[in-house]
Every structure is written in C-alpha cells, then in structure tokens.
Structure 1
Amino acid sequence: MRLPSLMQNWVCSLEGWRLRRNRLGPYFRKALEEAERHGNWTHEQTIAYRDRRLAEYIQHCADSVPYYQRMFQRLGIDPRDITTLADLERVPILTKADVRENFADLLSTKINPRQRVFMRTGGTTGSGLRFVATEESLHRQFAVWWRYRRWHDLPFDVWHGYFGGRPIVPLRQTRPPFWRYNRPGRQILFSGYHISPDTIGYYIDELRRCRPPWLHGYPSLLVLLASYILESGQTLGYPLRWITVGSESLLEQQVDLIRQVFGITPVQHYGMSEAVANISQCPCGRLHVDEDFAATEFVPLDDGQGYRVVGTGFTNLAMPFVRYDVGDVVELDDRLCDCGRPGRIVRSIDGRKEDYVILRNGARVGRMAHIFKDFENIREAQLYQDTPGVLHVRVVRGANYTAHDESMLLRKFRERFGDEAEIRIEYVERLPRSATGKLRFVVSEIQEGQIYPVTGIESICKSGQCLQG
C-alpha cells in the first residue's frame, strides 16, 4: 500500500532527523571547531599533525585489530616504524574484497559493540560494501565537509534542493510531486529519475515556489536539470547562491553548462563513506587534500596517466582501513594555492581507475570525457564496451541535436582512436545508473585477457539496429 504524499514527507523528515542526529550530533561542533583551526595551519604544521595521527592509528591497529596484528607479524613489520606517508608503502593495499573476506577480523576489540554504526556504501561498479563506523567518526567526517562549505560562506540550516540517487518517488509515477521534504535536514529531495522535457516545468515551479538558495547533488543530475531548463527557454526565476556537487567526477563541460544556466560556478568536494581520504575545493577553485583527516597516498598508474587514490583514515577506530584502495584516479598539481590553505593540490579528479576502453591493438585509453566538451546538444553520454576494439557510445539527444552533431561526434572519436576501434553510436532515452543513482561514464564488461577480432570503423545504431557509418 502506497502512503499519501503528506505521509511520505513525514517519513522523509523522520529519516532526516535520524541522519542529522548521526552526522551533526553533540561531538560535531567540537570537531568542526578543531577542523577549522587546522585550516589555518601552515603546510608543515599540517603534515606533522598528519604523521602523528598516522602513527597513533597504526598503533591502535596493532593493539586491537586481529587482521593487522597477523599481517604485521607475518610481514615482520614493527608498527612503531610506520610514522610517515612513505613508511606506509611497506603495508599491503587493502581492497573491498579483503574487507568482505575479513570483516570480523577488521573490527577493533577496543570498541564496545554498542558504539558500532553499521554502514553501507554503494559503488559505480555495482560492488557495494558493508562496514562499521562510530558516531564520533561520522561527526568528524561531516565536520571536514562543513569546513569546506563554510569556506564558501554556506551557513547551517539553509534550505537546499537535493538532486541525488535516492529513489524519492515510485518510478512509475507520472504526475507531480516528484519531490519530498526533509524538514529537519532543510532539504527538498528531488527525484533525478523523473526529470524530462514533460516534467521540467513542474521542477521549475517547485523551485520557484520554495526558492532554496542552495542546490546540491550529483553533477550528472544537475546538468540534466540545467539542460532541460535551457531547452525549455525558461529560467530558474530567482538567484541561486550556492551549487555544490559530489559523488561523481565534475567535468569542465558540466561546469560550463551549470554556470550558463544558473549564473554561478559549482564547487566540489571529494569524499567517500569509508572516510579514508578527502579533497576540498577552496574559494580560489583549487582542490586541497585534507591532510588532517587522512593519510592520502597517490600511487602512480602503470600507464603513467595519473594516480590512484589509496587512503588511511584517522577517524574510524571501530573498523580501521589502512591503505584502502578507493578505486579513483586523480591528476596532481605541484603549484601552490594563493588561498594559503594547507594540503597538496589535486588538478583534477578523473573518476574510476576502471574508466578506460581497450582498443583493437590492446591499448587502454582513458580520460575521454573531453570529447563531449563542445556538444551542447547532447544531454548525457556514456561509453559501453563488451568487446576490445568495439565502443558503444550511448547518447541522450537534446532537442536541437542534428545530423551535424552526429558526424562531428564520429569525427572526434576517429581523431582519438584512428582505425583501432569500431564506434557505434546508440541513441537512448535514458542512461542506466548504478543502484545508488550514480552515472558511470565508462561501463566495461571486458575481463582481463579477453581478446576478440574486430572489423569495421564506425556504425550508427538507431532503434536497436546498427547502420554502417
């Protein structure tokens, strides 16, 4: 039996109250004050603090976590010797599979079971993870997130429209409201699954009615909202003060479209439920590693094209993750930031390390999002591959998309891949998302070592049939 909208708003608010208590509970204010003090430190002070916290965390693992006790003994590692980021290289990298297989042994015997908060993270690869945290660790994580927001003068308790991956209303629903209210959290939760040319007017009307000064959510959903507003010939009708994004990589073309439609530049932060790394954008637009929150390593990729993120968080004493492979790839920047805030600088967050395609000659190619940079008439795009050398380009066309856009898109891919890939453009109404609503730019079902012969250069698929280009 489906609850009435009013009752669903009440249920959303009840869940919002629970989340607010967990995230912004009594320890949160103290943690935020501490985090903001750290934000005024020099880089040298911050690194000294990071290394001290790292040494304490490793000792906690050695004292109370069976998994690490056995590992240190097996490898002959004295945990007292691990005091810097460089020392961590002696410890094996921890994967999601390791966590699943060793769940019980990763729990600290020092933490009372009643203090444990069970967490679950989704995954753009479809591989979710269950783990344990504490209320204090959640407060510390949200303190770092709110430190970054306060850098941009974003106050507490301001209403915001949230565009994320949660199933807010039933997928079969065809009439508004396509949103629900979380009053304790000051949120209007908008369904990202119902945004379309037919419904965009309802979304604009609700935003105009409530006038939240802040929009937050997945970049792909906010861009979808912006593209439909642009095509409808309407405007939001009131000034926004903040747009913040997370959970997905923020692309340059997405920034351009959001700025064009809403008149402000989105800001981003990078974090994850496992709380083993955090990166925050400062008012100068640079991405700072939050060194006081975690020991974040950047391990070079084998192909030399970027670094994978490997993190050791300091906050979660209940189930410590040491050298946890997040699965994301970044580019680094050795220039200092004019804002004076501490932390190494990241040039860009490029998404999953699995986000590459394999050409007919076996070469792996990543970082292809820029191919779509100049295509204003493409709402969304995704690359799918199940055979090396064959690339399916899934495209959600905008209202003004033409054959010229199609030929230009094929030309861009030919310039990038030459004759080493067959390009198949497939037009779809909607792109598939993960269970948490995230949009993966590259979806590959190729197993390592899989080889197939490939012929042809490009084709265009319409209504499920591929035509040679």
Structure 2
Amino acid sequence: MTAIKLRNKVMRMIRKSIDAASRRIYYKSPVVIQHALTSAYGYKLKRERYGDNYYKALDMYTNKESDDHQALIDFMHHLKTHIPVYKNIDVDEADILNSFLKLPKTTKSQLRYELDARSYKKGQIRFSGTSGTTGASLAVYDSEYDRAKRMAYLDYIKRRNGVEPFSRRASFSGQELTPPNHRNHLWRYNLAMNQLLYASYHLSPKNISDVYKSLAHFRPLSIDGFPSAIHMVAKYILANNITIDWQVESIFPNAETLLPQMKRDIELAFHTTVVDQYASGEGAPFIYSIADGTYELGRETGIFEFEKVERNIYEMVVTSLINTATPIVRYRIGDHVEIHSDRPYLNSFSDDIRITRIIGRQADYLLGSNHNRVSSVAMARVVEGIEDKVKSFQFVQKDLTHFIVNMVIDRGYDEKTERLFTNRVRRRLGINNHYQFNYLDSMPHEKSGKVRFIINELGIDHA
C-alpha cells in the first residue's frame, strides 16, 4: 500500500469514527441544541467553501470572463502534466478539439479502479464519496479549488434567477438531520447559511402540514432540493387552497428527475419559476433550465458530447473542467437527453445545442413504514463513507413491510459495515419491516441490459 493510499485510508477511518460519535451526540441532544450544532457545522462548511477562490470564480462567471478555448487547452496540459494515465497524450493548441477527441472514453468502473492513479493534490484535497443513483459505488476526490468553482457556478445559476448568495433559503435534502423519533419536527436551522434544512425522507401525509407551517414562518426567498419533497409541499398548498403570503423568487430542484406535473404544481403553488439543474456527484458539468423550458449547457464547467441512440435521444459523454483532483474525462455517465437534431454526434465545444428534456434521472420510490416516499437519491446515501466496500446495491419492495436488498460487496465489508448499512436502511424505511439481504456476484439485469436501483412492486402511483 502506497503512502498516499495509507494516509487516505486512515483519514477516512478517523472521519467515520468522528462522524459516528458526533451523530450519537447530535441525536441525543434537545432540538434547540441540534439547531446550534447544525449552524456550527454550517460555519465550518462556509469557511471551507466560500473563500477567495469562490468569489473570484463567481465574478468570472457573472462577468462572462471565461475563455472556453483556453480552458480546454489548460485542462489538457493539466492531464498531461499531473495525471499519470494521460502523460503521453498529444496537446496541439492549434487544434485542441481534435487533441481532446483522441482521448479514450471512460466508464464508472475505470474511475472506480483507476482512482489512485488519477488523484492530484491541488490545494487541500478532500475525499468526496458518492454512490450514484444507479447503485454502483464510486469514490472521488476534489480540491479546495474544485469545490469553490462548483459552488460559485451553482450560485451563478441562482444569481441569474434573482437569488443572491446567502439569501434566505429552504433546502429539502437527504441528510440525516432528525432522529427516528423526530415527532414530525423535520427541520433544522443553519444560521451560517441563512438556511432551513428539511429531512426529505421523513416527509409523509401525517407531517406535511407541519412542514408547510415551518416553511411559511421562515419565508424563504428560494427553495432547493429533492423535487419529490418540494412537490409534496406544493400539493398540500394546492389541495388546501392556500395562497402563500411571501415572495419566492425561484425554486431549484436537483438530484432527481423533475417530472412535468411536478414543475407545474410547484410553480402554481409558489407563484414562481422552477429552475431545474443537472450535475452529478462524480463532478459532471452543469445543465440548467431557462425561461423557454429548454436546458442550457454550462460550457464554462465542461465539455458535453452527445451520441445518438434513437430519434432525438442522445447518450451523454461528459468532461468536467472544474474537477481537477479526479478528472472526469469523456465519461459515459449513463444519462440520456432529448435534442431535436438529425446529426449522429454533437459536442458543446463546436456546436450550438439546446436540450429539450433530461431523460436519464428517473427516480423511483420506496414506501416507508409511515407511508413516506423515499427516493433513489435518499437511499443512495446509505453507503456514504463505505463506498469502497460496496460495489453496488439494489432495493426491491415486495409489499408495505417486505424489502429485498441485493448487494455486491468488495473487500473490507465486515460485520461492522453490515450493521452500519442495515441501520441506515432501517432509519429510512422503518425499523419493524422485514429485510432480506442477498449477497450476489453481480446485480440482476433487465431485458434491456439496465440495472434498476429501485424496484417497487406495490403498483402505487407515486407521482
């Protein structure tokens, strides 16, 4: 084991130990102390994410100072100089697109197993694990510089839609904010970010009125997070003929597919504009919706390639220009989009492209013991910190209380890891359900060749 591998492993072990101890203290504390602890953690994140690099990047994006051609040249030189697997590539600055297109395409398995070869210290490097919503685990790293540029671009999108950084906002996330005995108090305040956080996977018909009342009391200028959770609040508003008495400037759903009926209901309930966003935990570049209902490519954040699969349906191949620690280079991310074009291949560096629909992020749901809907994104978080021990996993709901969990595990998966995994599953879906764990050599595939992360056999319409 190399010194870098050993150091990273030790740091992950320390972080997991600290996180587990902190969570126990947090859950046993009164709610008012949980608010204080959430704010304290928020101050920590604010110091890490919003330094000089963030403000420089935000100014650059806002003032349109980025040069796509020079950015690609710089990125290619970075690969050649710092990433061993790219040391022999040709960088022709006069024909940089052709040099770029000669690079091999990559897949998730290559990113997973070639990770150490791709790690590059630039500023303060950080382990940033992601499971992905397809159930195939992946762990990536990012740097202080990478994080700053990603946060800046998110805030650039918000600024374009009338929301300044650190404005009052409500966020519906998959974070474990509340203990199992939450008593329908599903929100915690982050003073540092002027943010009210909601535990999305605990939302249910029994507590949605409490959630709305807290939202109305907080009066956020913007709302972001899982569209399924925001949609539940919107449907409550519409069903009860409520007219909100504060201004919501924009709503920014993320992480799940925004269905048309969700967008319609959310905009109607909150009298505002919904701005859909697409990126990924692996560090994919950004896509976001604009006023005419189509999607704009964040060209400042990466190169998008599109290969036609069928009529107007294209598979995305993405390259991130804002993830230098673990470069995402011509990566087959597995998502599809709709583009009205007759051409078999398009790329954002040389073509004018307008996406009309994002197809790839279909989010199924599991139904928890309190009839709360738990999305694929929320379930994907059960492997945070143990991504290197769980290759892939799948949830099958047979009835209201019976779940099958199919797993493909890797080296290091032991009884302690199993307890951690099962406890996280139970916290999301219910402690009294029956869970059947199957350890497999590979995930079962559908006839199409796809592996579904969530299979719900209840036959319930979750929309």
TM-score by length of 2: 0.69
Instruction: Measure the CA separation in 2 of the matches of 1:168 and 1:159.
Output: 19
Deviation at 1:443, TM superposition (A): 8.2
Q: Per the alignment, do residues 310 and 233 of structure 1 end up closer, same or farther by CA in structure 2, a change over 3 Å counting?
A: same
Which of 1, 17, 38 is residue 12 of structure 1 equivalent to? 38
Q: Secondary structure at the match of 1:312?
A: strand
Aligned 8 A contact 1:52 1:83 in 2? no
1:447 counterpart = 2:442: no
Superposed CA deviations along residues 332-384 of structure 1, whole A, max 9, x for unmatched, are: 257xxxxxxx96321111124xx6xxxxxxxxxxxxxxxxxxxxxxxxx948x
Superposed CA deviations along residues 28-84 of structure 1, whole A, max 9, x for unmatched, are: 111111112227xxxxxx7xx323322321222122211223xx4xxxx53437954
Instruction: Measure the CA separation in 2 of the matches of 1:431 and 1:267.
Output: 23
- Report the counterpart of residue 420 of structure 1 in structure 2: none
Aligned 8 A contact 1:23 1:135 in 2? yes
Which of 243, 253, 266 is residue 258 of structure 1 equivalent to? 266
Q: Per the alignment, do residues 345 and 305 of structure 1 end up closer, same or farther by CA in structure 2, a change over 3 Å counting?
A: closer
- Report the counterpart of residue 83 of structure 2 in structure 1: 65
Q: Per the alignment, do residues 5 and 54 of structure 1 end up closer, same or farther by CA in structure 2, a change over 3 Å counting?
A: same
Q: Which amino acid aligns with 2:158?
A: R
More divergent stretch after superposition (204-213 vs 179-188): 204-213
Which of 47, 51, 68 is residue 25 of structure 1 equivalent to? 51
Which of 129, 152, 161 is residue 143 of structure 1 equivalent to? 152
Q: Equivalences for 1:339-350 in 2 at 5 Å?
A: 344-350=353-359
Identity over aligned pairs, percent: 26
Aligned 8 A contact 2:312 2:340 in 1? no
Q: Per the alignment, do residues 181 and 395 of structure 1 end up closer, same or farther by CA in structure 2, a change over 3 Å counting?
A: closer
Superposed CA deviations along residues 269-306 of structure 1, whole A, max 9, x for unmatched, are: 222233332113334444211112211212223x4552
Q: Equivalences for 1:193-342 in 2 at 5 Å?
A: 193-301=201-309, 303-304=310-311, 306-333=313-340
* Higher fraction of helix: 2
Which of 47, 52, 57 is residue 70 of structure 2 equivalent to? 52
Aligned 8 A contact 1:289 1:343 in 2? no
Q: Secondary structure at the match of 1:27?
A: helix
Which of 378, 403, 409 is residue 436 of structure 1 equivalent to? 378
- Report the counterpart of residue 143 of structure 2 in structure 1: 134
Q: Secondary structure at the match of 2:277?
A: strand
Larger radius of gyration: 1
Q: Per the alignment, do residues 150 and 438 of structure 1 end up closer, same or farther by CA in structure 2, a change over 3 Å counting?
A: farther
Q: How many residues align structurally? A: 361
Q: Per the alignment, do residues 156 and 37 of structure 1 end up closer, same or farther by CA in structure 2, a change over 3 Å counting?
A: same
Q: Per the alignment, do residues 176 and 237 of structure 1 end up closer, same or farther by CA in structure 2, a change over 3 Å counting?
A: farther
Q: Per the alignment, do residues 348 and 4 of structure 1 end up closer, same or farther by CA in structure 2, a change over 3 Å counting?
A: same
Aligned 8 A contact 1:204 1:236 in 2? no
Aligned 8 A contact 1:291 1:343 in 2? no
Q: Per the alignment, do residues 171 and 53 of structure 1 end up closer, same or farther by CA in structure 2, a change over 3 Å counting?
A: same
Q: Secondary structure at the match of 1:120?
A: strand
Instruction: Measure the CA separation in 2 of the matches of 1:23 and 1:343.
Output: 32
Instruction: Measure the CA separation in 1 of the matches of 2:159 and 2:448.
Output: 49
Which of 103, 107, 112 is residue 119 of structure 2 equivalent to? 107
Taking only aligned residues, the RMSD between alpha carbons, in angstroms, comes to 3.4
Aligned 8 A contact 2:205 2:372 in 1? no
Deviation at 1:116, TM superposition (A): 0.8
Q: Secondary structure at the match of 1:19?
A: helix
Q: Which amino acid aligns with 2:295?
A: L
Q: Per the alignment, do residues 12 and 230 of structure 1 end up closer, same or farther by CA in structure 2, a change over 3 Å counting?
A: same
Instruction: Measure the CA separation in 2 of the matches of 1:201 and 1:236.
Output: 14
Q: Per the alignment, do residues 284 and 152 of structure 1 end up closer, same or farther by CA in structure 2, a change over 3 Å counting?
A: farther
Instruction: Measure the CA separation in 2 of the matches of 1:304 and 1:443.
Output: 32
Aligned 8 A contact 2:276 2:288 in 1? yes
Instruction: Measure the CA separation in 2 of the matches of 1:343 and 1:9.
Output: 47
Q: Per the alignment, do residues 186 and 145 of structure 1 end up closer, same or farther by CA in structure 2, a change over 3 Å counting?
A: same
Instruction: Measure the CA separation in 1 of the matches of 2:180 and 2:257.
Output: 26
Instruction: Measure the CA separation in 1 of the matches of 2:352 and 2:256.
Output: 22
Instruction: Measure the CA separation in 2 of the matches of 1:50 and 1:351.
Output: 26
Superposed CA deviations along residues 174-204 of structure 1, whole A, max 9, x for unmatched, are: x242110111011100121232222122112
Aligned 8 A contact 2:289 2:296 in 1? yes
- Report the counterpart of residue 188 of structure 1 in structure 2: 196
Unaligned 5+ runs, structure 2 = 1-23, 342-350, 382-393, 397-442, 450-456
Aligned 8 A contact 2:336 2:360 in 1? yes
Q: Per the alignment, do residues 26 and 317 of structure 1 end up closer, same or farther by CA in structure 2, a change over 3 Å counting?
A: same
Instruction: Measure the CA separation in 2 of the matches of 1:27 and 1:437.
Output: 33
